[in-house]
Structure 1
Amino acid sequence: MTKNIDKKQLTLFALTWPIFIEIFLHMLMGNADTFMLSQYTDDSVAAAGVANQILNLVIVMFGFIATGSVILITQNIGAGKEQAAKDVAIMSVIANLIIGLLVSIVLFAFSKPILQIMNLSPSLLEEGNKYLGIVGTFIFVQALIMTGASILRSYGYTKDTMFVTICMNVLNICGNYLLIFGAFGFPEMGIQGAAVSTVISRVLGLIAVSVLLIKRIPALKSNLAFQWSHLKNLLKIGIPSAGEQLAYNMSQMAITFFIAKIGTEALTTKIYAQNLMMFIFLFSISVSQGTQILIGRMVGAKKYEEAYERCMKSLYLAIGASLFMAVIVSTFSDNLFDLFTNNEEIIQTGGMLILLTILLEPGRAFNLVIIGALRAAGDVKFPVYMGLISMWGISVPVAYLLGVHFGYGLTGIWIAFILDEWTRGIMMYIRWKSRKWVSKGFVEKGKTALQEQTV
């Protein structure tokens, strides 16, 4: 039997600090790739950045299942339905394995045509194809890591996923050093080396996550049947939940297309700036994920007022931390960009982008925390509709108008980001305050099916 989780031990701090470290290390892994490739060539940075945008869009597809599993598992645990929670966990692994394998086949066969859509120069296209071809072929490994990590977090084992991420980072950095630059007699592979290192670290990470799942939740291996009812429920939650992130990633790809028209230097600046920005909204992401687990359990147990207050407290924490970090990173932006490049134009433009981030990040905190809370409560469609309206009605057209048409470049594009984040953030805040999410929980006493969702 799996030991029961003591719900009293699941405080926001206990859940969030391992998530914080885990996400920090994930970001560090991405920055390690960027930093080490920047020591190779700036073109490699730009090519890998565009390839990773495509991979990030693909990873959102895996989020259909992973997000749905977190919501269903936490609400079932909160409602005291532990067997249903385990059945959902099993089904989520099977489903994401199938989806991951299909996506891997597509990326293996069509990596170059996909990159050609992004309007890359011939040199960047060749470099990007090397990276996307290797990492994309094994992207199913990431699908399984995401699913396994989501299950472990849902059961409160956030420290486990943190330790796995630490090991993956160490392996990835060591692999980058050996394979990008050809250290200690290894072949000098450049961007291909970064791709191979990423794949190896993920494969070993998947092995570790699998061992932890069997150890922590042994009943998972007792029933591996394909259950259509659970798949249907996962998709009912997961597709709308991941739809907001899908809309965001697609809008980012469209904007990257605009930036590619401005030039390779602008594209490289954007990648460096966004790598630094990740550390600004790190706290908001970790608070959002910890809050989501708690609110899922509270909603499953019908503790709606506790859920409401938990979200509001988390929101204030995230806004304060984001603003503080944005000011700190902006103050030292020149020194931070110096780590990546000695191109003065990139450093100067990047510093302006980080300064604008002081306005952007509090708005992003609203979205990260409240959207996570709405999903956990079962209100999964509203963020998608608002995301589509704001991202494609504000972010993309304003980015083109200011950045390309009127010639303000990256500064104009960052203004579009600010308008988008604050518009959506205010709408999410109004939605949470309205308490319309109270009627949208997925799990009730004596019921196993999802309630039909309406906005």
Structure 2
Amino acid sequence: MMKKTDGEKNKFSLWLLAWPIFIEQFLQFLLGSVDTLMVSKISDNAVAVVGFSNQLFNALMTLFATVASGAGIVIAQKIGSRKDEEARTVAIIAFKVTTWIGVFLSILLIAIPAPIATMLQMPEELLPLAKIYISIVGGGMILTAMMSVLGTAIRNTGNTKGPMMIAVGMNIVHIILNYCFIFGAFGFPQWGLTGVAISTVTSRLLATVVLFLMFLGTFERKMGMKDFSIFDRKLFKEILTIGWPLGVNSGSWVFSQLAIFSFLAILGSSELAARTYMSTLESFCFLLGFSLALAAQIQIAHLYGAGKIKEAYKAVYRVLAIGLPLVIVNAFILVLFGGNVLSLFTKDQEILTICASLLWMNLLLQPGKMINMALGNSLNAVGDTRYTMIVSLIFMWLIATGCSYLYGVHLGWGIIAIYACMIVDEYIRGVLSFVRWRGRKYLRMKETELERESTKFTESFASPSM
């Protein structure tokens, strides 16, 4: 038993959880940058369409993130408390529910891509490209849904290496197919943005198949097709109790970003393209920080389930001590070399001038993001998801979105004002999350629960001798 405990402890160590996530995210960033570079060879409008459409897809993903994210935390907690069979059942339920949501979204995006793009204020000159890209990539939302829940379930068992390898393979296939379809290489047709969309769906299909095969054997008892008829209302309620605030929280962020993209679209296609390029560069700044924050969520959920309250409380501070210096250094590197990198993507001087100012503002933005990621994920890991949801709903919409419109669009201060509002929002939510974590509300509740269970056990053990 001791060997199993030591092995499990190592499996859920911060470093062993974080480094595969980091490699996965880094390679996705690297290949994603190559992807953006390839799309920029089509046109800046194509880049703007991809950036805008991805915001739409991210917004819709929140509909199944409610189930996938909640299930991931419950799985880690169940494994921490040595209830592997329940963790397995949670994973099966989450997969089924998420898949059906993905089916609905795919049908919707295939049926009405143009009205959706128009409703979101996409510039008229981008609509023809948007209609094609949204219908093809959006039609594959079922694959995105399945990948999300499968990857989350596998990672929260402590296996972060498997999803890493699959994600790397998926992106390599995507880049190769992009090259073929954009440049007409190896006898492939030169289909431009349509080819990029087909490449995206094809690579995701292959990744989904491999993830599903890995998922079948990820728990102690291997899954068979008959197991997918399982449904436990009590466990599904646990998923939703943690998951629905996570879904609202995630949705709040994504829809606020989508609103901000629509504000940028009002300002013009140059601002929209600049934000898309900056989104790619910003990813570089917090790759390791994000990986540490996600690893901390898995670790803290496991420690919380195992009743190791003090270790769970201290874990977030280790992440901040490592993550904050990293994102600051990375953001400064981006200030020094970001202009040169951007010149590889576009020669439009207006876009480059906008990005030059945003690179300096990014130096302020990234530490706030790191604090939010680490503390927000830690609160979610112990089940305090309603608090993060409430904070997000208030400040994302009041500051990041409302003030962005007021100062950026209504008063005409432009994209600089919008970025400033995003920075203020990150720091306000970060400070509030820090105060909440210091209060240890859910950790104290867990300690009380463990004390009651210990008392009951002692009383039941002593009762026969009385």
Q: What TM-score bracket applies, with the shorter chain setting the length? A: over 0.9
Counterpart CA distance in 2 for 1:118 and 1:84 is 42
Pick closer, same or farther for the CA change 1:15–1:47 going to 2, 3 Å. Answer: same
Moved over 6 A (4+): 442-447
Counterpart CA distance in 2 for 1:116 and 1:188 is 27
Aligned to 2:242: 237
Counterpart CA distance in 1 for 2:252 and 2:218 is 35
User: With structure 1 as the length reference, what TM-score do the two structures score?
Assistant: 0.94
Displacement of 1:443 after TM fit? 13
For 1:208, which of 207, 210, 225 is the aligned residue? 210
**1:225-271: CA deviation from partner (whole Å, max 9, x where unpaired):** 23333222212211101211110111111111111111111110010
* AA partner of residue 51 (structure 2): G
Aligned to 1:54: 56
Aligned to 1:7: 8
Counterpart CA distance in 1 for 2:154 and 2:447 is 20
Displacement of 1:62 after TM fit? 2.0
Aligned to 1:84: 86
**1:383-430: CA deviation from partner (whole Å, max 9, x where unpaired):** 110011111111112212222233221111110111000010000011
RMSD over aligned Cα, in angstroms? Answer: 1.9
The correspondence of residues 171-190 of structure 1 with structure 2, limited to 5 A, is 171-190=173-192
Check the 8 A contact 1:75/1:443 in 2, yes or no.
Answer: no
For 1:328, which of 317, 330, 333 is the aligned residue? 333
Aligned to 2:347: 342
* AA partner of residue 155 (structure 1): T
For 1:261, which of 261, 266, 275 is the aligned residue? 266
* AA partner of residue 222 (structure 2): A
Counterpart CA distance in 1 for 2:22 and 2:327 is 13
Unpaired runs of at least 5, structure 1: 448-455
1:220 aligned to 2:223?
yes
Q: Percent identity?
A: 34
Displacement of 1:32 after TM fit? 2.9
* AA partner of residue 16 (structure 2): A
For 1:136, which of 135, 138, 141 is the aligned residue? 138
Pick closer, same or farther for the CA change 1:71–1:125 going to 2, 3 Å. Answer: same
The correspondence of residues 436-455 of structure 1 with structure 2, limited to 5 A, is 436-439=441-444
Aligned to 2:73: 71
User: With structure 2 as the length reference, what TM-score do the two structures score?
Assistant: 0.92
For 1:28, which of 27, 30, 48 is the aligned residue? 30
**1:129-154: CA deviation from partner (whole Å, max 9, x where unpaired):** 11110011111111111111111111
Displacement of 1:441 after TM fit? 5.7
1:246 aligned to 2:248?
no
Pick closer, same or farther for the CA change 1:209–1:442 going to 2, 3 Å. Answer: farther
Check the 8 A contact 2:307/2:447 in 1, yes or no.
Answer: no
- SS of structure 2 residue aligned to 1:19: helix
- Count of residues in Structure 1 that have an aligned counterpart in Structure 2: 445
The correspondence of residues 363-378 of structure 1 with structure 2, limited to 5 A, is 363-378=368-383
Pick closer, same or farther for the CA change 1:77–1:338 going to 2, 3 Å. Answer: same
Aligned to 2:357: 352
Check the 8 A contact 1:72/1:442 in 2, yes or no.
Answer: no
Counterpart CA distance in 1 for 2:407 and 2:342 is 24
Aligned to 1:93: 95
* AA partner of residue 227 (structure 2): N
**1:168-223: CA deviation from partner (whole Å, max 9, x where unpaired):** 01100001011122222211111111110000000000111112122333533362
Counterpart CA distance in 1 for 2:290 and 2:248 is 18
Aligned to 1:278: 283
* AA partner of residue 75 (structure 2): I
Displacement of 1:431 after TM fit? 0.5
Counterpart CA distance in 2 for 1:149 and 1:121 is 35
Check the 8 A contact 1:20/1:283 in 2, yes or no.
Answer: yes
Counterpart CA distance in 2 for 1:440 and 1:376 is 14
Aligned to 2:429: 424
Check the 8 A contact 1:300/1:443 in 2, yes or no.
Answer: no
Check the 8 A contact 1:395/1:420 in 2, yes or no.
Answer: yes
For 1:153, which of 152, 155, 160 is the aligned residue? 155
Counterpart CA distance in 1 for 2:449 and 2:206 is 39
Pick closer, same or farther for the CA change 1:85–1:223 going to 2, 3 Å. Answer: same
* AA partner of residue 8 (structure 1): K
Which structure carries more helix by proportion? 2
